[in-house]
DNA sequence: CTTGACCCTGTAGCGACTACAGGGTGCAGA
DNA sequence: TCTGCACCCTGTAGTCGCTACAGGGTCAAG
């Protein structure tokens, strides 16, 4: 496989070019070698690392957590307790957000269900935002 | 009721002082009169407006939407269709986020359930982040 | 040899805050 | 009266994870 340009890598991973450069600046991706014309030249290892980052982002991990996951992934014979702890923290965070959003959804649905679509003066939504 | 200081208003509404000043800069709250010593002096109307903003934020409305809601709330005899549209948009946004987070939760739970807490080399979580 | 797609760096903007730094005000206790 | 302390002021910069330029350089096809 020949070296990939940043655009090639973007197409293959679905991560925008600007975001790849941002990840490099943030230390998630190693600085790749450059061509004569100063273009980044990626290899398969870079693509695997970026795919790892993308899957982690898709699960909502923050960039700090991803840096930690990448470090852990490099040490094959270490116990995976730290990995699991990061995943559990992330799960807890996701569950907290779901709980918040579920409460918002219930209130919005209830407001909308009670509104008789009349004037603003007796609109249930405005009324509740005012505090009854 | 005497005038309230920004700290009083913060305690009464649960909105931090810095956030109240931020809302003022963003045009969500009118600039209150000042005391001799240049302190903001709030009245009950300010407290009601800030409470409206807080309840809207708690439902996840963005500041642009809240500005629109505040404008609509001021015109009592206008039909409330626009209000309802804003609420429906917000509900749709909340439902989209819940869907995303629910997918993340399922994957995180499944990963955690499959991990036999051994070494990183055969950790299910790291394995899936690598793409099997 | 020109066109156009791509690449480079560096900087600024987004949303909704949050956290200072460096000062001024106001009141209660010694 | 002094002094300490809590509070207030403005202005600016940082957070997170991008995203969008501006102003250039590179490269291959036609
Ligand atoms: Zn109801
Ligand atoms: Zn209504
Ligand atoms: Zn499974
Ligand atoms: Zn594991």
Element (H, E) at A62: none
Q: Assess whether B45 and B96 both reside in one domain.
A: no
Protein residues with C-beta less than 5 angstroms from the ion ligand 3: B 110
Answer whether residue B74 is part of any domain.
no
Answer whether residue A66 is part of any domain.
no
Q: Assess whether B47 and B101 both reside in one domain.
A: no
pLDDT digits (tens, 9 = 90+) for A1-43: 679 999 999 999 999 999 999 999 999 999 999 999 999 999 9
The share of chain B scoring above pLDDT 70, in percent, equals 98
Answer whether residue A106 is part of any domain.
yes
Task: Provide the phi-psi class of A16: left if phi over 0, else alpha when psi is between -120 and 50, else beta.
Answer: beta
Q: Assess whether B52 and B90 both reside in one domain.
A: no
Mean pLDDT across A82-93:
96
Q: Assess whether B51 and B92 both reside in one domain.
A: no
Element (H, E) at A56: helix A44-58
Interchain proximity B120–A94, CB inside 8 Å: no
Q: Assess whether A84 and A128 both reside in one domain.
A: yes
CA A59 to ligand 3 center in whole angstroms:
15
Mean pLDDT across A59-81:
93
pLDDT of residue B61: 98
Whole domain around residue A36: which residue ranges?
Answer: 1-59
- Number of structural domains in chain B: 2
pTM: 0.92
pLDDT of residue A11: 97
Q: Assess whether B40 and B85 both reside in one domain.
A: no
- pLDDT classification of A115: cutoffs 50, 70, 90: confident
Which nucleotide shows the minimum CA-to-C1' distance to residue B53? C16
Answer whether residue B90 is part of any domain.
yes
Answer whether residue A115 is part of any domain.
yes
Answer whether residue A69 is part of any domain.
no
Answer whether residue B66 is part of any domain.
no
Answer whether residue A44 is part of any domain.
yes
pLDDT of residue A1: 64
Interface test with A, best of B65, B73, B80, B98 (most A CBs within 10 A): B80
Distance from CA(B108) to C1'(C10), angstroms, rounded: 38
Q: Which two tokens stand for residue A97?
A: 């957000």
Positions in chain D where some atom is under 7 Å from a protein CB: 7-10, 16-21, 25-27
pLDDT of residue B77: 82
pLDDT digits (tens, 9 = 90+) for B16-52: 999 999 999 999 999 999 999 999 999 999 999 999 9
Positions in chain C where some atom is under 7 Å from a protein CB: 6-9, 15-20, 24-26
Report CA torsion sign: B111, B117, B118, B121.
positive
Q: What is the CATH number of the domain that holds A52?
A: 1.10.1660.10
Name the residue of chain A whose CA is nearest to B108's CA.
A91
Q: Which of A129, A98, A109 is nearest to B51 (CA)?
A: A129
Q: Does the structure show a pLDDT above 80 at A107?
A: yes
Q: Assess whether B48 and B99 both reside in one domain.
A: no
Q: Assess whether B2 and B55 both reside in one domain.
A: yes
Compute mean pLDDT per 10 residues along chain B, 132 residues long, and list them: 92 98 97 97 98 98 97 87 95 98 98 87 93 86
């Amino acid at each position: 496989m020949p070296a990939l340009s940043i655009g090639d890598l973007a197409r293959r991973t679905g991560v925008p070019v600007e975001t790849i450069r941002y990840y490099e600046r943030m230390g998630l991706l190693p600085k790749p070698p450059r061509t004569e014309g100063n273009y980044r030249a990626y290899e398969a290892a870079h693509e695997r690392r970026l795919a790892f980052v993308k899957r982690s982002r898709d699960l909502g991990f923050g960039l700090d957590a991803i840096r930690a996951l990448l470090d852990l992934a490099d040490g094959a014979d270490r116990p995976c307790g730290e990995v699991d702890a990061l995943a559990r923290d992330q799960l807890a965070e996701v569950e907290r957000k779901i709980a918040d959003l579920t409460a918002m959804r219930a209130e919005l649905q209830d407001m909308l269900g009670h509104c008789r679509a009349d004037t603003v003066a007796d609109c249930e939504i405005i009324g509740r935002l005012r505090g009854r």
